[in-house]
Amino acid sequence: MLRFQVFREGVSPAELDLATAYLVGADNVPIRGEFTYTDGEIQCRKRAAGPAALTLMWETKNFGSVMLETTRLPERDEPYVLNLELARGRVMKLMQKREEWGIFDVTEAQVINEKANECRDLLLNAITHQDEPAKCSEFADKCLQLALPLSEQAALTHADLLLQRRIATRNFPRGAFGCRVEVGNTTEAYRRLMIPNADFIRLPTWWKTIEPQEQKFEWAAIDEWMDFLRRARLPVVAGPLVHFGEAAIPDWLYIWEHDYETVRDLLYEHIDRVVTRYSTSVALWNVLSGLHVNAQFSFTFDQLMDLTRMGVGLVKKINPSTRTMIELTQPWGEYYAGNQRSIPPLLYAEMIVQSGIQFDIFGVQMRFGVPREGCWQRDLFQISSLIDRFAPLGRPLMISALQVPSAPADAANSAGVWRKPWSEVLQAKWLEAVTDIALSKPFVEAICWNDLTDTAGKSTSMPFGGMAGADLAPKPALKTWASLRRAVMSFRQTPAKAPGGVPPAVPPSSGGRS
């Protein structure tokens, strides 16, 4: 059992919300565990051998509430001090990334390097006072208050250095900014807002929408959007073709939830039907989304990999020239701690590459700020570090669903807080920072904002998550988005190829757009 003493300003709180807590074992893979909090102490009963780290939502003064992780710790009789281990975990990761990013001796990072030494000294003070847990926690809290914004500054400094290199080499892709649209919204005003603010459009093709009843198809809404986007000469990213979320699975499919062969055959027919119908209208197919989460069906690892191979292979068979994407949802993998039928996201990605499945690009969703699994708040340093983990996979990457709200999604801010409660101005600042970080990575080819306008009442929507309001009034985020898009256009001279000679993630339109 792992035990942690908890302190808030030197005093153990009477209550502590552990709804977001989970354990992480070797290779950053979440593991199962049970958590209780009594008398100022967290008790973690883990169901796996070996050292483990505790991850949970943690509030830090002047920074907000974000998911933080301790170092990997062995079990012992006496409790650890949670404040100390969270500070130790962040300082160690900051030191590792400074070395990996090569900013130890960079002039632009001089202030970061100096303050990193201050973090180290505060951490050492905390370590030397472990026999006085309350005093230890005070030094650790001060360390975190300095280390969290410092690590974000390091991520942004590294991004700036890479951006300058990408600008100098004109290695910006064409068609880098996209947006997902609401299929049911076909108003002229909505479309006029969309056209000048997107290089490509992500068009959802939910199975549940297309075939709400078995063998009864409803194509009209998607047909209309496909025709419109073809006339507007905007490339289409369509899909997902396979997604096992509640919004995508037709109700009638659950009859076969324990019959893998039948589900596979039905999926084969569905993919064949949709891709054949729209093969000439789609630039990139999102073939599989979130298959690794496996929350609805009890498929095995081999069956999930078989579906992946079948889906991509079928799309390529129908249209060999089309490009294919495999999308990862919940990229930190919290779900795996509670669902052992699932696959950790990066392990799934590695297995796809190693198995030789011929797809073209990874997509990864990054949505934060709502009390929903996979959407707990992360800071910029964590985002940059996660994106870096895709580099060794040798495939381009699209941030396929980027989103935070422009107002708190719930009054309690239970999903976390980045710096301060969400507002329209903060949404725009976050968008700019994450876009800079993402586009600084040479293997990132495109970014797609998840909702153009605020929507409500749908399971796939985020309250206040649009770049414009429900009345289509632009928010500061939309102006920031347009400014970033113009900047990339000005930096780009000719379309650059991604590593390995792979063409840009989304082909440019041919209608005279920049």
Of 113, 136, 167, the residue that ends a domain is 167
Q: How far apart are CA 263 and CA 269, in angstroms?
A: 10
| Residues of the domain holding 26 | 2-167
Of 140, 167, 194, the residue that ends a domain is 167
Of 167, 192, 215, the residue that ends a domain is 167
Which CATH number fits the domain that encloses residue 453? 3.20.20.80
Amino acid of residue 329: T
Residues 6+ apart with CB under 8 A from 192: none
Q: How far apart are CA 115 and CA 254, in angstroms?
A: 56
Q: Do 386 and 357 share a domain, yes or no?
A: yes
Asked if the model's pLDDT at residue 435 lies above 80, the reply is yes
Asked if the model's pLDDT at residue 126 lies above 90, the reply is yes
Q: Taking residues 297-314, what's their average pLDDT?
A: 93
Confidence class for position 170, pLDDT limits 50, 70, 90: confident
Asked if the model's pLDDT at residue 500 lies above 60, the reply is no
Q: Do 361 and 219 share a domain, yes or no?
A: yes
Q: Do 98 and 209 share a domain, yes or no?
A: no
What pLDDT does 461 receive? 75
**Average pLDDT value over all residues in the chain:** 91
Asked if the model's pLDDT at residue 76 lies above 60, the reply is yes
- Asked whether residue 507 is domain-assigned, the answer is no
Q: Do 240 and 163 share a domain, yes or no?
A: no
Query: For the chain, how many structural domains are there in total?
Result: 2
- Asked whether residue 506 is domain-assigned, the answer is no
Asked if the model's pLDDT at residue 405 lies above 60, the reply is yes
**Lowest mean pLDDT, pick from 18-22, 177-181, 247-251:** 247-251
- Asked whether residue 24 is domain-assigned, the answer is yes
Could you count the other beta carbons within 10 Å of the beta carbon of residue 446? 28
Q: How far apart are CA 238 and CA 180, in angstroms?
A: 10
What pLDDT does 497 receive? 42
Q: Do 104 and 207 share a domain, yes or no?
A: no
Which comes out higher in pLDDT, residue 95 or 503? 95
Q: Taking residues 420-434, what's their average pLDDT?
A: 97
Q: Do 174 and 127 share a domain, yes or no?
A: no
- Asked whether residue 278 is domain-assigned, the answer is yes
Asked if 116 and 151 touch (Cβ cutoff 8 Å), the reply is: no
- Asked whether residue 510 is domain-assigned, the answer is no
Asked if the model's pLDDT at residue 503 lies above 90, the reply is no
- Asked whether residue 13 is domain-assigned, the answer is yes
For residue 179, give the H/E element and its range: strand 177-180
Q: Do 470 and 343 share a domain, yes or no?
A: yes
Q: Do 411 and 287 share a domain, yes or no?
A: yes
What pLDDT does 296 receive? 76
Alpha carbons within 13 A on the beta-carbon side of 8: 11
Q: Do 205 and 336 share a domain, yes or no?
A: yes
Report how far apart the first and last C-alpha atoms of the chain are (Å, whole number). 59
- Asked whether residue 512 is domain-assigned, the answer is no
Asked if the model's pLDDT at residue 297 lies above 90, the reply is no
Q: Taking residues 398-406, what's their average pLDDT?
A: 96
Asked if the model's pLDDT at residue 180 lies above 80, the reply is yes
- Asked whether residue 412 is domain-assigned, the answer is yes
What pLDDT does 305 receive? 94
317-349 tens-digit pLDDT: 999 999 999 999 999 999 999 888 899 999 999
**Lowest mean pLDDT, pick from 226-230, 381-385, 413-417, 467-471:** 413-417
What pLDDT does 514 receive? 32
Q: Do 154 and 286 share a domain, yes or no?
A: no
Comparing C-alpha atoms, which of 71, 56, 79 is closest to residue 1?
79
What pLDDT does 459 receive? 53
Q: Do 222 and 307 share a domain, yes or no?
A: yes
Asked if the model's pLDDT at residue 357 lies above 90, the reply is yes
Q: How far apart are CA 156 and CA 101, in angstroms?
A: 11
Q: Do 119 and 23 share a domain, yes or no?
A: yes
Q: Taking residues 462-476, what's their average pLDDT?
A: 94
